[in-house]
Structure 1
């Protein structure tokens, strides 16, 4: 029997004896290893999210371009390394040069770096690398101390660009990146650079640490739609007191069962969780897009309900096979949303039934009740007005703070 704790839904149910798994053992302080401290789920860039002209041409992208981006790490370390992704590229990805630095004043979404902090990134001792189609590249370690919750700047220069318009990115960065022509990867600032709220080509930052990581698999509610650009106030960003790395592996429009924006969860689980260094626990908070895009009929909703619950079981089975604990989160309300709400309430019935299964069926090792944290007590099918962005689906930073506040502290040890 798995651990199952219901938050706000009664007493905890814990078996008297549980088998000890490797992931239950604490690392000793001397047992440092490479773990992810930041991630972004790779996606195929949609036409509307491609780099603006002149950085996207008729048949190639980022030709003679410097790209500077900032990311928000969760745990710190004295050495870092960066992962570049060509998961969806239509051609090999040639990186001419790269650097990592601390942003000016430690801020997110700025084009300036702190003087003296820039370090060249190398790949097998070389200043650049070519990432094959579908692959990723991990840089050599760099001595650059970064603190818990710090921001980090990554700068890439592509002399020849990528000879394809299929580009790997994470459009929902909620963080400003900068593009400028020419090689400026060592520059302190990029005056005249063009700002865009997308990440391109980067998928992970690792540090040497003696703590594990928790991967969060989700959709736009975890990717942070409704949060503040350059504010780092998505709900995972607002989790406090974490002694583990908290990794955001979410994307707007993502679904559990079928591809949406990015591969479905069942397809991306190996890449985004099982093969992500340091992960010994995960949280699945996803399913609203599956419910909202399924037909608003009795048959359509019955099918998606059954398939979602089965998919959760599959996720748990696959994660447990590699000693990763799996936490579940209830699906938050969408009553009143013009896209997902339906007059007959079939989708709300499905959300309620799926949430009941999450709370009571022992699907997961532990459960957090995000639904209870952000719903309107007087109208449970609706978000609390104080948390609603206005579309009755996505939350504002206060709503994300409420979600972060109910994440069990024991998950973060």
Structure 2
């Protein structure tokens, strides 16, 4: 089982009581050395993640939060994320993967969102806690790097929403901002430090995540994660904003409904427009595999559901499509080899139809021939440890080159929440039991 680095919790014990607008907050981090037996029985597991990307101009924070050569100056950023597994000790990771300057974090807090909801600016009174980094409340993330917070005692329930509020006094002195634009979740921006405020009624809402890349929980040895490599079909285009009804979310709901799989975390490492072979919106799969899967904590399984954008953006000729088919198959084999080297099982998901889509469907059907050839290889090659047949789950039985008309969002490529439920229901839960120690 690939669990990332086993981590001994080493954090200075500190207690800081502050008062901002009458709101009390406590800081608790632990720098006590655990016994070897206690450390061996637990490990860090990613419970939420978002694929870091370079923010495009259209997805930058709106004025006044983006200025001349700098971004998020004197800005509070409040975001909510839905975790998969829970725990009593957690930590955060912030990414400056695409920054070309250092990123100074002035203050960070975590809390429970009001009524447990996603995408709200209010938090539950009494729940905010300050986050520290090496015992300090500030941290600087070097260009291209990430920073991991100190472990924080915080009761995080499985499948719940978490609010993370970050204040940047200096902002990032560059427009090279790391984010995940396809959050399908509302975040909030407001000038000045409001990390401890119970609500941000004057904040400007944006449907993007910025800077935050991971939440990890200290877990028992039976807890493990499945990472999903994908594009907009996994990132959730067509799903409901603040609804958490992408297919990985609905798959998590299924996992949590059964004792044998309720300790499986789901990590959505997808981005709209992403491709396997070439950079698009974010680095290509072969370039980001180490960062987004192999370096994530506690990953035991990988689902590969990507390739439609490679086929759809390649020239619609027989020769070009024959080439992209061969290159995709070679890339999938590379992913399997590299993941197996880390003891990660790899499951291949068949590519879903795009017939009728104005961008990808071509009159001569060359791209559909490629899709069928790729799917045939996924199903029959034996290279994957198992196959998840998403194509069969959502195609129109009367016209298999097209999606079921009731399951797409209107463009014959992306799915609606019902379509994403069909994908989630198509994943065999038995695939995520065999490696758990509790099931041995």
TM over 0.5: yes
Summarize the alignment of residues 43-122 of structure 1 with structure 2, pairs less than 5 Å apart.
Answer: 43-122=53-132
| Cα separation, 1, equivalents of 2:109 and 2:376 | 48
Report the alpha carbon displacement of residue 411 of structure 1 after superposing the two structures with TM: 2.6
Summarize the alignment of residues 164-183 of structure 1 with structure 2, pairs less than 5 Å apart.
Answer: 164-183=174-193
Report the alpha carbon displacement of residue 388 of structure 1 after superposing the two structures with TM: 1.1
**Corresponding position of 1:353:** 373
TM-score (norm 1): 0.93
Q: Secondary structure at the match of 1:403?
A: helix
In the alignment, structure 1 residue 393 sits paired with structure 2 residue 413: yes
In the alignment, structure 1 residue 410 sits paired with structure 2 residue 430: yes
**Corresponding position of 2:353:** 333
**Corresponding position of 1:367:** 387
For residues 69-107 of structure 1, what are the alpha-carbon distances to aligned partners after superposition, in whole Å with 9 as ceiling and x for unaligned? 000000000111110000001210000000011100000
For residues 138-158 of structure 1, what are the alpha-carbon distances to aligned partners after superposition, in whole Å with 9 as ceiling and x for unaligned? 100111111110000000000
For residues 100-127 of structure 1, what are the alpha-carbon distances to aligned partners after superposition, in whole Å with 9 as ceiling and x for unaligned? 1110000000001111110100000000
Q: CA RMSD in A?
A: 1.3
Summarize the alignment of residues 230-309 of structure 1 with structure 2, pairs less than 5 Å apart.
Answer: 230-239=242-251, 240-241=254-255, 242-243=261-262, 244-309=264-329
Q: Are the counterparts in 1 of residues 110 and 129 from structure 2 also a CA contact under 8 Å? A: yes
Taking a change above 3 Å as real, the CA distance of residues 48 and 315 of structure 1, as seen in their structure-2 partners, is same
Q: Secondary structure at the match of 1:34?
A: strand
In the alignment, structure 1 residue 317 sits paired with structure 2 residue 361: no
| Cα separation, 1, equivalents of 2:138 and 2:150 | 11
Question: In structure 2, which of residues 128, 135, 140 is the aligned counterpart of residue 125 of structure 1?
Answer: 135
| Cα separation, 1, equivalents of 2:343 and 2:284 | 22
| Cα separation, 2, equivalents of 1:275 and 1:302 | 33
Runs (4+) off by over 4 Å: none
TM-score (norm 2): 0.87
Question: In structure 1, which of residues 213, 228, 239 is the aligned counterpart of residue 225 of structure 2?
Answer: 213
Alignment length, in residue pairs? 389
| Cα separation, 2, equivalents of 1:311 and 1:102 | 41
Q: Which runs of 5+ in 1 are unaligned?
A: 1-20
Q: Are the counterparts in 1 of residues 2 and 344 from structure 2 also a CA contact under 8 Å? A: no
Q: Which runs of 5+ in 2 are unaligned?
A: 4-37, 256-260, 434-440
| Cα separation, 2, equivalents of 1:332 and 1:266 | 21
| Cα separation, 2, equivalents of 1:313 and 1:216 | 16
| Cα separation, 1, equivalents of 2:414 and 2:320 | 24
Report the alpha carbon displacement of residue 30 of structure 1 after superposing the two structures with TM: 7.3
Q: Are the counterparts in 1 of residues 304 and 346 from structure 2 also a CA contact under 8 Å? A: yes
**Corresponding position of 2:170:** 160
Q: Secondary structure at the match of 2:45?
A: strand
Q: Are the counterparts in 1 of residues 77 and 188 from structure 2 also a CA contact under 8 Å? A: yes
